[in-house]
Each structure stands twice: as structure tokens, then as C-alpha cells.
Chain A
Amino acid sequence: MKLENLLAMSTRGTVAALAVAAFAVLGSPVSWAQSLGTVTIGTHLDVDTLDPTQNINTHQRWVYRHIFDPLITLSADGKVLPAAAQRWEQIDPLTWRFHLRRDVKFHNGEQLTAAAVKLAVELMQKPASQARSYYSRFKEVRVVDDFTVDLITDKPFANALILVADYLLPVPPKYFAEVGAEGIARRPIGTGAYKFVSWRRGDRVILEANREWWNGRPKADRVVFWPIPEPGTRVAALLNGEVQLISNVPQIQVEKVKSSSAVRIEAADQGALPIWGGLVVDREGLKDKRVRQAINYAVNKQAIVERLLQGYGRAMGQPCSAQTSCYDATLMPYPYDPDKARALLREAGVQNLSLKLHFPTGVVSNGPELSQAIAADLARVGIKTEIIQDEWKVFAEKLFDFKNKQANLGDLFLMYYKAGPTIELVMSTVLVTEKNWNWTHYSNPKVDNAWNQAESTVDAAKRTAMFKEMAAVVRDEAPWLFLYEPLPLYGVSNKINWKVRADEFIYVEHMTAR
């Protein structure tokens, strides 16, 4: 360890000791024993940038959330809670007004004002930002006064708050003017519970507690995000006590983690990233819904879940995953029935069907194994497949190639989507005829209607009815090969209490010592 680090640590130690003494005298609600010390989180993906306006991948936002505070945040059960904004209101169908707290300061001392919110939204609307497709829906950010800001949507938008919660992270305007986007990407300054300390690309992001945080004393002294892409290594690091929490435990390694008394597995009870196969419905051979159903009967997803995922998954038979707002618990997955599949194919008069089975490397977990298992199952009912594997960038190019109607995309492509609070946005862009993620070219007026109305319907019962109808239609018409939702597995040290959230959000402030 470097001398300066040692010195820094001893100073911090002294400060901490003084704090303990002070708390002891004053009768603090937080006792010293409950501090988490250093929490190191082993992640399966590298951090690409620390600029929170450019990247909105969940594993990136884990890091951002610690450095920056959102205006509003979501509780584990999806309720909207105040954060840097103490109140908000909808003042007309298009306008959402946020009242900022007055005691929030950035790590460099800058006051949080409406200008910081405006800057963040503008940066999120830049062409290269991943948030662009969502944030282009805010046509204006109006600064009412220093602590009041209006977000104005292009049309009535029931889910606007979901887009703001935990996504919109104010950026300090003065600091930004000084260092620019590159500076933020490398040495971010936010209002959050943790201050940025250091980051080596491809290696650890190190954060330390922000003692002046407006929301009290941060739970940990240090938070470290450490990308460890190799799954076995990640598990080993957890078992060795080098990290306290790891993401994406491979199903096959679960037993190993369970065999240790120092760590445990936390499995989510729902899949945050369900995996589905898109069937491009206007391709030769796939136009007949019986063929698409046959494919659903032919693939033994239950066996795949049991053997490949070691049971940590749930087979699906409808577009929405369990425990989301559009899920219908009465709809069962297609059973594995190769005879029925063959019969349906015969009925449809389809012989020697040959499909291109396409998947992106790394993005769909277990992609190589899954695609080969599907190919083997399809071969048993007489459907030939050619497996095409592309890097994500290349795959995405083909996916978003609207000009040529996705001509280079496989007939059956494996994809995932993001479940959780934003599911309705995702589903509507994937399933509605004219929407820009409708890669399967599926089109059904009933489904379109259900989504278009749901977007502006507030009545919960009505919405549920619409979603149920939609789910049944989509299940029957099978524009997808319904696969499964893998249950995300996390490895956690027994020194901390922590549960996986539905949106798989990791935030050290949600942890407690045990």
C-alpha cells in the first residue's frame, strides 16, 4: 500500500473515531458496529464510462447511483420515493414539476439547482447517449426557479416518473463547464453518498463515503466496483472474501457457493432479463401461425431450465415475465410436445423447413448452449437450423436495420428484454406494429390497441383487462418462441443483509450489517 493511502486511511480513522465518540455522547441512532466498512462488489461487466448521462445499462447505473442522487427513486416494490427532489406533481397532462431539496450539494461544493437537472436531460438527449430514445420524449425542461423544474413530455405519458426515477441524475453545471464530458466520464462529481476516488479502466472503481451527504451518514466507508468477467473467478473472489457481493453467479456454480458458510446465494424471484426468441413473422415458412406454434411445442424449455439453468429459471408462455404489470398468471407455457409439433407442421403443409437461428454473443446469457439446445430440439421435429453468432454490435446493426426490414436478421433470433418497472415501455415498442423495436414485424390491431390505450389509462382494473387480452392473443399467435426468465443469482457475504430487487438494482445504502 502506498504511504499516502495509509496516511489518508489513518486520518479517516481518526475522524471516524471522533464521530463515534460524538455519537456516543449524543446518542446516535446509528451505532458504529453497523458500519459496513469497505464493500467490494464483483461485477460481471466492465464499467465503460462514469458519465451517467451517456450509458443507462443497469450494471453501469449501479456505480452512478452511488456517486449521484436521482430526483426520485424507486422502492423495492416499485413505489416512487423522494430523493433529491422532495416533492413532485403533475400540473397538467404534459407537465411534471419537481421541487428540489435546498440542502443538496455536489462533492465540489456546488449547490444542486434546476440548472443541473436541465443539463443532465440535455446531455441524455445527445445523439450518442443510450438514454436518447427514452429521453427524446421530454420535449422541454423548464427552469421555473433555482429549486423548481418542469419536465414537459410530447404527449400524455403515464410512465413518465418511471423514466425519471433512478435514471435522471443531475450533473454539476460549473464542473461540467470546466472539465467537459470527458472529465465527467473520468472523474465524476455528484451529490451522492459516495465520492469518486479512483478508477483504472478494466479495473476497480473506488468510491469513499461522502461525510457531508444530505441524507445522513453513508453505510459504508468505501464502495469498490470490481469487474471480474470470468464467472469462476468471480465466485472464487467471493469465497476468498475479496468481494462481498457478486453479480451473475453461473447457475452451475451455485452448489459451490452454497457449500461455504461465509457466503450465500440470493436469487431473485423473478427474472430481470427474460430471454425470448423472435420469429420474424413475414419470413417464408413462418407466416403460418401453426408453424410458429409448432416451434413452441418442439423446444423443451422446461428441460433447458432444469439442466442448463439448474432450475434457476422459469419457463414462459407469454411476452411479459412473472410479477410484471402485464403478466397473466393463468397462461401456462407451451408444453413440450414434439408429436403435436410434427402434427402442426404437417397440417400447415410445411416440409423441410430450414431456419437461420441467430444470437448475439455475450448479451443473451448461455447463448451458445441455448441456441444449440434449441437447434437439437428443432431437428427432432424435422426443422433444420443454421446457427449464426454475432458480436452484439453487429447483431444490433442487423436488428435496427429498418431500411431493409431486418433482412440480415435470422428467422429466429434470440434476444432478451428488460423486465421491471419499465416493462410496459419495452413491450409496447417490441410488439406494436409501428414501433421501432418491432423486429418480428408482428402486427395485430388488438395488441396495438391494448398498448396504445394502456399508455394513457390510469384505471388499474382496465389496464389489467387490456393486458390479459393482449397476452392471450400473443401467446396464441406466437410471434415469439417463448423461452424462459433466468432468475438472477447473486453471491453475498454473510456479513451483510441484502436482497435482490426486481429491477436488480444494487445500492449499498440498501444493505445493512449482520
Chain B
Amino acid sequence: MLHVVLVRLFSSMLVLVGIVVVVFLLARVVGDPVALMIQPGMTEGEIGDLRRALGTDKPLWQQFVVFAGNVVRGDFGLSPWQGEPALGLVLERLPATMLLTTCAMLTAFFIALVVGAVSALTRGSAMDHGAMSLVLLGQSVPNFWLGLMLIMLFSTTLHWLPSAGYGTLAHVVLPTVTLAFFFMARLTRLVRSELLEVMAQDYIRTARSKGLPPALIFRRHAFRNIAVPLITVLAVDFGALIGGAVVTEMIFAWPGVGRLMIQAIGQRDFPIIQAGAFVIAVAVVLANLAADLAYAWLDPKVRFV
């Protein structure tokens, strides 16, 4: 057990180092950061000062060492666009993104649980077919289009919900649905198939033959058995969820990390791009690590290759 934990921690550390390298290269590959800060009328001397201040007059490896050192201290430099430490700007937007992704995840989770269970229980019925068709549809709708359609229906036509922005509970609904849709479909499928598998197990059959009501069997046996794979998939999907959040935030003017990063890319604000990519990547790695460890802990049969 300890061995597994150590191996996972070590490989996560390796990935973190890789992330720092990629994040560093991101900005350097794109171009000279100083060139973007030059304003008309600046003298060569001032440009030189800027260059020295940013350290871009040094060889690449030296720049990397400095960069990595700064990253360890949480310093990604000042954002030229907003004139403040980049990491702070990113962290400031993190709660909005976390709110959106958490809401989406919970929504997807609970709906999947209900629909998947009903589908599994009534396997082969019209209801099952309907649910599975919806699932297929859910996996086929591009979320940006879904978002626009939801705005058109609930906001501009029916005036039930605000079309964008951030602030009240009503603002959360449409972005959450947009983001949750794809994952809801995936999870529903998973719940259904896991439940079907569990229900084929001997102890469930035994419980059934004893005449226990299906609802009780579900509560007592089935759900406990599907919890592990479900939670694991949720954690593992975290990265994809954040990716989806980027698009969702753009549509709904949601003040999260994703929208900040898209704006920063437009502004060529590398400190923010770097800090944002780093924070997101670290979050994904942590989520995966947590999932792996939880999996190992809940299900001792699992061994990592």
C-alpha cells in the first residue's frame, strides 16, 4: 500500500517537473516577450533595461533555472496587461471556475445516478431505450452550441434565466447545464453498465431470491459497489471538465480562469498564460493522484502497472 502511494507520488512529481518545462517553453516558443512590451517612442536603452529586468538577455537554460526557482516560490512575474502578479490574478479567478465545475460535476453525478439506475432496473424497456438515446445525444452535442441554444430558449425567448454573468444562483444554472451535459451522458452510461454487472453477481441474486425489495437491494448492495468506479471516473474526468469550462466560461461571460486565459492569450500576456496553465495542470494532476490513491485504498485488488 505504502509502496503504491510512493510510486504515485513520485510519478506525479515527475509530471509536475514536466509541466514546469512545458509552461516555460509555452512562452518562449511564442516569441520574445519584450517585443510585446515595447511602446512607440521607447529608446534602445529602455528596451535593454526591460530585457535585463525580465532576464531575457541570458541563455535559455539559465532563464529556465530562474523561472523554475520563481515557480517554486509562486512567482510567475507581473502581468504586463494588468500590472499585477500573475499567479494572484489566476488564483483570484479560481473560485468562479471551481464553483462552475463543482456544480456541473454534482449535477452530472446525481442525474446520472438516477437515470442510470432507472435505466438499469427497467432494462430493455422503452424508458431504457429513451434514456440511452438521450445519452447518445448528450455525447454528440457540442457544448458551445448547447450553451447558445439554452440562452436562446431560456433567456431571450422565455426570460426565465439570465443569459450570462455571475452573481446569483440563477446565473449558475445555464452554464452548469451546458458543462454538465456531456459528463452526465458519460456517467449515466457508466452507472447503468456497472449496475447491470453488479446485479448479475451472486449475492444480489441471493438477496433477490430472499424476496428483498429491489430498492433495498439497490441501497444496500448495488450502490456501494459502483461508488468506487464512479468516483474514480469523476476525478479522472476533472481535466476534461476544466477544458469544457474554458468554452463555457467564454459563452456565459463567467469570470473564471478559462476566460482569463483566453483573454490573456489575446493580450499575449505570458505570465498569466503560464500561471493559468500551471494552476490548471497541477489541479488535474492532484485530482488524478487523489483518484488513484482513493482507488487503491477502496479496492485493494488494484495494482498499478
Contact = CB atoms under 8 A, between A and B. Distances in A.
Interface of A: 46, 48-49, 51, 54, 127-128, 130, 132-133, 136, 181-182, 185-186, 200-203, 226-230, 232-233, 236-237, 240, 242, 361-362, 391-394, 397, 400, 436-437
Q: Interface of chain A, helix or strand or loop or mixed? A: loop
A362 B255 contact: no
26 contacts: A48-B82, A49-B83, A51-B83, A127-B42, A127-B50, A128-B39, A128-B80, A130-B39, A132-B41, A133-B39, A136-B41, A185-B84, A186-B84, A201-B82, A201-B93, A201-B260, A227-B253, A233-B163, A236-B163, A240-B159, A242-B162, A362-B266, A391-B268, A393-B268, A394-B268, A400-B39
A233 B92 contact: no
Interface in B69-100: 80-84, 89, 92-93
A54 B40 contact: no
A29 B263 CA distance: 47
Q: Which of A128, A133, A400, A437 has the most CB of B within 10 A?
A: A128
B133 to A, nearest CB: 31
Contact of A230 (B35, B40, B253, B260): B253
Given A228-B253, A393-B267, A436-B40, A203 B84 contact: no
A436 B40 CA distance: 8
A133 B81 CA distance: 18
B39 A132 contact: yes
Given A236-B155, A240-B162, A392-B266, A200 B255 contact: yes
A361 B266 contact: yes
B181 to A, nearest CB: 20
Given A233-B165, A236-B162, A397 B82 contact: no
Contact of A203 (B39, B151, B255): B255
A391 B41 contact: no
B105 interface: no
B171 to A, nearest CB: 11
B46 interface: yes
B166 interface: yes
A49 B269 CA distance: 14
Nearest to B251: A230
Contacts of B92: 200-201
Given A228-B253, A397-B35, 18 more contacts: A49-B83, A54-B83, A127-B39, A186-B84, A201-B92, A201-B93, A201-B255, A203-B255, A227-B253, A232-B156, A233-B162, A236-B155, A240-B162, A391-B267, A392-B266, A393-B267, A400-B40, A436-B41
Interface size class, chain B: 35 or more
Nearest to B42: A127
B255 A202 contact: yes
B260 A182 contact: no
Nearest to A48: B82
B39 A230 contact: no
B263 A46 contact: yes
| Minimum-distance CB pairs A-B, first 10 | A202-B255, A233-B164, A393-B268, A391-B266, A233-B163, A203-B255, A236-B163, A436-B40, A230-B253, A133-B41
Contacts of A181: 83
Given A133-B41, A200-B92, A127 B46 contact: yes
Interface string B145-189: 000000100011001001111100000000000000000000000
Interface of B: 35-42, 46, 50, 80-84, 89, 92-93, 151, 155-156, 159, 162-166, 251-253, 255, 259-260, 263, 265-268
B156 A236 contact: yes
B260 A185 contact: no
A203 B168 CA distance: 13
A362 B252 CA distance: 18
Contacts of B151: 232
A239 to B, nearest CB: 9
Contacts of A54: 83
A133 B166 contact: no
Q: Which of B80, B251, B255 has the most CB of A within 10 A?
A: B255
A228 B164 contact: yes
Given A54-B83, A201-B93, A232 B163 contact: yes
A431 B10 CA distance: 62
Contacts of A240: 159, 162
Nearest to B93: A202
A226 B159 CA distance: 20
A308 to B, nearest CB: 21
A128 B37 contact: yes
Q: Which of B37, B39, B252 has the most CB of A within 10 A?
A: B39
Contacts of A228: 164-165, 253
A393 B39 contact: no
Given A201-B255, A391-B266, A391-B268, A230 B80 contact: no
A202 B260 contact: yes
Contact of A237 (B39, B41, B80, B165): B165
A390 to B, nearest CB: 10
A128 B47 CA distance: 11
A446 to B, nearest CB: 25
Contacts of B163: 230, 232-233, 236
A185 B83 contact: yes
Contacts of B267: 391-393
A242 B170 CA distance: 13
A226 B156 CA distance: 20
B73 to A, nearest CB: 18
B83 A230 contact: no
Nearest to A51: B83
Nearest to A203: B255
B89 A201 contact: yes
B251 to A, nearest CB: 8
Contacts of B89: 201
A185 B82 CA distance: 9
A334 to B, nearest CB: 31
A391 B266 CA distance: 6
Contacts of B159: 240
B224 to A, nearest CB: 41
A203 B83 contact: no
Contacts of A391: 265-268
